Structure 1
């Protein structure tokens, strides 16, 4: 096969690029990145350092002229584009007028002029329902009807945990093949995920087996001390964890049920539930009152023992989402959310996001609580060990940039799966 030339739009730290490198190595292909757009200077630093691309050549897509003369000819267009509300102004003037002024419009201008054979776009799952589905409808009709790309019939929503990677991160992908550059008569692109499902260890019913797999494959044995909760500096949070672990292990629960959502400030309260209170809130409070009634003596002592009234609002709210078979706080994955402490089943991590809400785990290697490291977030996004993360390139910078970059990135394994499928079948 000839050299595959590609462009990387809204490139971030190069997840699409790294994925295609993986496919090229496997299929013995020659690839060449001929254009990159990105505006975040820290991401540009990371991208440039990993792909030997001059930082000065990574530009803002909005700096291109209307003829896209700065974009070379290419075979594959990648874009993890931002989602913007589209206008109603173009109702009578066609799809291109409706998207004018959005960043998606810049992608369309390139596609219309350069006509690459393949495209792969990515966005948050919410894009499908954005603006009551209007945004998605315009995007699909623009790609399919105006530009002539063959795309999947239904939204292709995928998450790393479906590929054996312990992170729940649903994203919508839009792969496409230009009809005029293929002899295939298919109306839609199709995928088969049967092998992925049958070989996915995360589908095992043995949570201990899954936990071992996660620690062996995705977590690091040698971790800097700054990521561990310190006995003195973090004594408050460690006390909170100890308290909720005590609560989890010792309160009696209704038969066949796990622990409901607990708001410590509600325990022991007896006020009348108002008729206009939302049904979900009524249920939460009713469930909590039932737990309190069943465990009054233990809970009254627990509230005093751990001085719960002095806690901050967030730590007083506890969501146990790890199921009945997990009975130890240390065997859950913890996320500190604005809405409270959420404990997930130890088979997948919650969606990675910027610097806030970095998951906390109990480190079996070091017998201590700690945050995931930036390198571990890279592992959960399927970046290889040799990939240089931002805090290795710029050690003087805070971890914030590394967390943010992986929180905003595509998952390399998912993208390479789609890329290879397109190259093999279309």
Structure 2
């Protein structure tokens, strides 16, 4: 089985870096930023990987039939409203422009053997007025196209990396695969703690008491006739770990096996540009102190109503002996979420550099500032890219498991062929 993949919503190529390190070949990739003339992420992507097999058009306009066949589909897509409705012709239609439906269309058209997706962890709880509906729609879509799916909310820092970045990863396997068939007969403990996709590289505590709080539900056609019924009626709590096969869904709350902490200190550069230091700008420094400090202030809303706004304090500067907080797209601007550190060399307060943010996500240094790029990439854009990116180091670990799964697929295929040859030989001899 060929280790071919397509990368959707590619950004600056986090999935591709992690999986090509494990021998995968990218046969097609799509990156399109709507409502902007300059396609900065695409320019960085192609400067690093080349333009071959790279697409820079709106994914909604792509003819899914013309996408190359592939073994693995990957992508980090936005968390949106996935609700669906019945059309006048009694068909089913999702909200226009919602990017999940492009993934769904590709699954329907191309049926890749495996799928690996990433999203913010609030996906499994949205929307607020019908908890779990959007994730339920996704699960049912996978079921309708013949897939099992496993998910895990993973905080990179809990597995020995330098950033407290929590995301939900989803792995789906088509019913035609050996992997699907192998887990079909297993119980939920075996899948989640020993034999499932995440079990080996992202170990969880088998003694954690919450594993007893299992949520079992059905999303099969026996419960919901189609996606419209799921959209209208489905509501359920999903825990941070779970799987779905044959329409039966199991989820539990899990706790990672403890790893050694990787502190922020280890990714810091030894020397940075002077423009990152904030200690000589009293106005900026005072603003940071205020925004990161605790407060209880009387405020007035637009209707003239007075109320008290309360907010807890944050460490200032950020501790260097712990993993960093989550990088946001606003990193480096003057706001509460931006990191401020005391430089170990100069003992002065400064912001993180773009290279340090790349390191926090496991990207090579200066990945977002390639020398052969066709356009100028500002520092502000580089921070923005990393705020949107995934942790490449996690994907590399997943690539190890994918290799094992695909190697086993090839072994089973070859074993079947050899067995058939033996049967034919026996017939001739007889």
The normalised TM-score by structure 1 is 0.67
Q: 1:368 to 1:169 in 2, by over 3 A?
A: same
Match of 1:389 in 2: 368
Asked if the contact 2:27–2:53 (Cα under 8 Å) also holds between the matched residues in 1, the reply is no
Match of 2:183 in 1: 186
Q: 1:394 to 1:375 in 2, by over 3 A?
A: farther
Q: 1:69 to 1:241 in 2, by over 3 A?
A: closer
Deviation per CA, 1:325-374, whole angstroms, max 9, x where unpaired?
Answer: xxxx45x34xxxxxxxxxxx851222111134431111112211110111
Deviation per CA, 1:294-321, whole angstroms, max 9, x where unpaired?
Answer: xxxxxxxxxxxxxxxxxxxxxxx7604x
Give the whole-Å Cα distance in 2 for the aligned partners of 1:94 and 1:362: 62
- Specify which of 276, 290, 296 is matched with residue 227 of structure 1: 276
Q: Secondary structure at the match of 2:176?
A: helix
Does residue 32 (structure 1) correspond to residue 30 (structure 2)? The answer is no
Give the whole-Å Cα distance in 2 for the aligned partners of 1:110 and 1:177: 14
Match of 1:9 in 2: 8
Q: 1:262 to 1:215 in 2, by over 3 A?
A: closer
Q: Secondary structure at the match of 1:157?
A: strand
Give the whole-Å Cα distance in 1 for the aligned partners of 2:16 and 2:90: 33
Does residue 262 (structure 1) correspond to residue 237 (structure 2)? The answer is no
What displacement does 1:230 show?
Answer: 4.9
Match of 1:20 in 2: 19
Q: 1:244 to 1:359 in 2, by over 3 A?
A: closer
Q: Number of aligned pairs?
A: 323
Deviation per CA, 1:53-97, whole angstroms, max 9, x where unpaired?
Answer: 2497433212223xx232011111011112221234149999964
Give the whole-Å Cα distance in 1 for the aligned partners of 2:132 and 2:91: 15
Deviation per CA, 1:372-399, whole angstroms, max 9, x where unpaired?
Answer: 11111110101123x6213754784421
Deviation per CA, 1:151-206, whole angstroms, max 9, x where unpaired?
Answer: 12xx411121122122121111111111212263313644323389557221xxxx
Q: Secondary structure at the match of 1:69?
A: helix
- Specify which of 9, 29, 43 is matched with residue 45 of structure 1: 43
Give the whole-Å Cα distance in 1 for the aligned partners of 2:88 and 2:76: 29
Give the whole-Å Cα distance in 2 for the aligned partners of 1:139 and 1:149: 11
- Specify which of 405, 410, 415 is matched with residue 425 of structure 1: 405
Question: Unmatched 5+ residue regions in structure 1?
Answer: 25-30, 203-209, 246-260, 267-275, 285-316, 323-328, 334-344
Q: Secondary structure at the match of 1:77?
A: strand
Asked if the contact 1:49–1:388 (Cα under 8 Å) also holds between the matched residues in 2, the reply is no
- Specify which of 264, 268, 273 is matched with residue 214 of structure 1: 264
Match of 1:273 in 2: none
Does residue 165 (structure 1) correspond to residue 161 (structure 2)? The answer is yes
What displacement does 1:262 show?
Answer: 3.3
Match of 2:378 in 1: 398
Match of 1:337 in 2: none
Q: 1:198 to 1:127 in 2, by over 3 A?
A: closer
The normalised TM-score by structure 2 is 0.66
Does residue 201 (structure 1) correspond to residue 197 (structure 2)? The answer is no
Match of 1:272 in 2: none
Match of 1:350 in 2: 325
